[in-house]
Chain A
Amino acid sequence: MANNDLNGTEPLVAGTGIGVRHGNQTILHDVDISVHRSEIVTLIGPNGSGKTTLVRSLLGLQKPKFGSVSSPKHVRIGYSPQSLAIDRTLPLSVRRFLEMAGIRSTEKLCEILDKVGAPNLLDHEMRLLSGGEQKRVMLARALLREPDLLVLDEPTANIDVHGRTGFYELIAAIRDERECGILLVSHDLHLVMSSTDRVICLNGHVCCSGKPDIVSQDPAYLELFGEVTPAVTLYTHQHNHNHA
């Protein structure tokens, strides 16, 4: 499964001592994070814990006040933001949205939509998609960039609980197939725990990090997410069964 022995290789992206402030409010301080090839790193944390801010800093979308972000120049990034707010007046088909990633071949676009579980949506209107369909289309667009690093901000937010398990399996399969690094922001604690290599528990700073089964017993984790029943938290996902 996970290919964890990549400690000697250069990270796809690394942040050191990242600190972000809005006015007098400290959003993030002293955050260290790195994502390597073939690794799924999951950021979890309560609302307002700075997850999206950290992701935006790593992507170079905002400059952190303290610390530094480094990423080798050749690293291609596929990004799926938390939400799209396409104005209702903008007529935009899924095809057109996907084409913005630079690929126009109908065959390729259909193939990628099939892969993310959103077949036959190519000629649909973006603003009429359901939340879950939109998330899948956003993943497809990120994949079309043939990324070395895939950054997904709450990719399952609008997908039903049943679909989420499949979605995380899909993400793990993408990692296995393309050997890209994946940075995931998620609220699905128990589901994420099972298909991730490393968990970073964030609340303004890194509360704890490491392998999922270790983090899930860390006092700092339990303090933040203590209400989650241990039985669910410790569930380890198996890939060798099917959901038929």
Chain B
Amino acid sequence: MPEFIIYALVAGIGLATVMGAIGVFVVWRRMAYFGDTLAHSALLGVAVGFIIGININVGIIAVCLIIAIGMVYLRSQRHLAEDTLLGILAHSSLALGLAAISLFSALRVDLMSYLFGDILAVTPEDIAWVYGGGIITLGVLAWLWKDLISITVHEDLARTDGVNIFRTQLVFMTLFALVIAMAMKIIGILLVTALLIIPAAAARRFARTPEQMAVFAAIAGSIAVAIGLQGSLLWDLPTGPAIVIAAALLYAASLAFPMQQNSR
């Protein structure tokens, strides 16, 4: 196997594992559109990173966090419905990102690779980012897991139980931003949400507990990466879309199985 395929597989599986664990919360908490908005704003992060000369991953994380906090603030103002608000933020930040990149034509940015990812161009440095960021993300998730589940079930109940809602939400947003930064180069802005929610949805029918669902989502995502890579090599498909198609097929296949659940 050529080296670039091994790199792609290693990075993709690491990424899918982390995205499975974050993705279940995106599904449970109905944050799919929110994730999309953060992903769209990531392009602005790339531009900011280039312009002020910092690591683009740091730029992406910073911009995603600002958008996330802005979103929480605007939502508390209740001027507009949440999906309208997300739409405004998603598209305006994507447009700003595109405009910034084209203004600074000196920026040699391969736009397509950010929109759709380029997993076959993954470098050892990218793998270090995915695994470093991934271990941090999974560690923090494990630490906050109980509180996050509690908030997901009922925010007010969690608060009366003494869960620090603000801190937990903020940390989760940060992890979310980190995962988007990790995913961007590999799967691309436009497909990030797909890899968050499709494996989680495929895992639902087999899981009896929240933890099982997270583990199964990670496995489903990893299988999708492996199949997608294979398909992309066989039929010369763009890799990001091939992985998403594989995930969607896994989800479709999961529907053939009965729902696993506790009594009744």
The answer on a CB contact under 8 Å between B264 and A90 is: no
Q: Considering only CB atoms, which chain A residue lies closest to B150 in the complex?
A: A100
List the one stretch of A120-128, A178-186, A191-199, A224-232 in contact with chain B: A120-128
Tell me the smallest distance from the CB of B184 to a CB of chain A, in Å.
26
Q: A63 within 8 Å of B by Cβ?
A: no
Q: A14–B210 Cα gap in the complex (Å)?
A: 38
Complex CA distance for A32 and B207, rounded to whole angstroms: 48
Residue of B nearest to A133 (CB): B264
The answer on a CB contact under 8 Å between B209 and A128 is no
The docked-state distance in angstroms from the alpha carbon of A92 to that of B208 is: 7
What is A's interface to B at a CB cutoff of 8 Å? 56, 59-61, 77, 79, 81, 84-87, 89-93, 96-97, 100-102, 123-125, 128, 141, 145
- B201→A123 contact, CB < 8 A: no
**CB <8 Å contact, A84 and B204:** no
Given A96, A100, A101, A124, which contacts B264 in the complex, CB threshold below 8 Å?
A124
Q: Which of B28, B161, B207 makes the CB contact (< 8 A) with A100? A: B161
Task: Please determine whether B161 and A90 come into contact, CB atoms closer than 8 angstroms.
Answer: no
Cα(A47)–Cα(B153), bound, Å: 25
Chain A residues with Cβ below 8 Å from B212 are: 91
Against A, the Cβ 8 Å flags (1 = close, 0 = not) of B139-160 are 0000000100110111011011
Contacts of B119-166 to chain A: CB distance below 8 A: 146, 149-150, 152-154, 156-157, 159-161
Q: Are B264's CB and A92's CB within 8 A?
A: no
Report which residue of B27, B153, B204 has the largest number of chain A beta carbons within 10 angstroms of its beta carbon.
Answer: B153
CA distance A95 to B163 in the complex (A): 20
Contact present for A92 and B153 (CB under 8 Å): yes
Q: Check A87–B30 contact: CB distance below 8 A.
A: yes
Contact yes or no, B262 A87, CB < 8 A: no
Chain B residues within 8 Å of A89, by CB = 27-28, 200-201, 204
- A contact face: mostly helix, strand, loop, or mixed: loop
CA distance A56 to B263 in the complex (A): 34
Asked whether any CB of chain A lies closer than 8 Å to the CB of B169, the reply is: no
Contacts of B27 in A (CB 8 A): 87, 89
Determine if A125 and B262 form an interchain contact, defined as CB atoms under 8 angstroms apart. yes
Q: Are A91 and B209 in contact (CB under 8 A)?
A: yes
Are A59 and B28 closer than 8 Å at their CB atoms?
A: no
Identity of the chain B residue whose Cβ is nearest the Cβ of A151 in the assembled complex: B160
- 23 residue pairs of the A-B complex, CB under 8 angstroms, read A56-B156, A59-B160, A61-B160, A77-B160, A79-B156, A79-B157, A84-B153, A86-B154, A87-B29, A89-B27, A89-B204, A90-B152, A90-B210, A90-B213, A91-B207, A91-B212, A91-B262, A124-B262, A124-B263, A124-B264, A125-B263, A128-B264, A145-B161
List A contacts of B30 (CB < 8 A).
87
Min CB gap A59→B, angstroms: 6
Cα A90 to Cα B207 with chains together (Å):
9
Report whether B261 and A100 are in contact in the complex, using a CB–CB cutoff of 8 Å: no
Q: How far is the CB of A60 from chain B (nearest CB, A)?
A: 8
Are the CB atoms of A123 and B263 closer together than 8 Å? yes
Residue of B nearest to A83 (CB): B154
Q: Does B207 lie within 8 Å of A125, measured CB to CB?
A: no
Contact A91/B160 with A81-B154, A86-B153 known, Cβ cut-off 8 Å: no
Q: Which residue of B lies closest to A86 (CB)?
A: B153
Complex: A90 Cα to B29 Cα, angstroms: 9
- Which one of B149, B156, B213 has the highest number of Cβ atoms from chain A below 10 Å of its Cβ? B156
Q: Which residue of B has the minimal Cβ distance to A145?
A: B161
Q: B160–A79 contact, CB under 8 A?
A: yes
Nearest CB in chain B to that of A84: its residue: B154
Q: How far is the CB of A157 from chain B (nearest CB, A)?
A: 16
CB-CB nearest in chain B for A93 = B262
A91 x B213 contact (CB < 8 A): yes
Nearest CB of A to B171, in Å? 19
Q: Is the CB of A87 within 8 A of B264?
A: no
Contact check, B28 vs A87: say whether CB atoms are below 8 A apart: yes
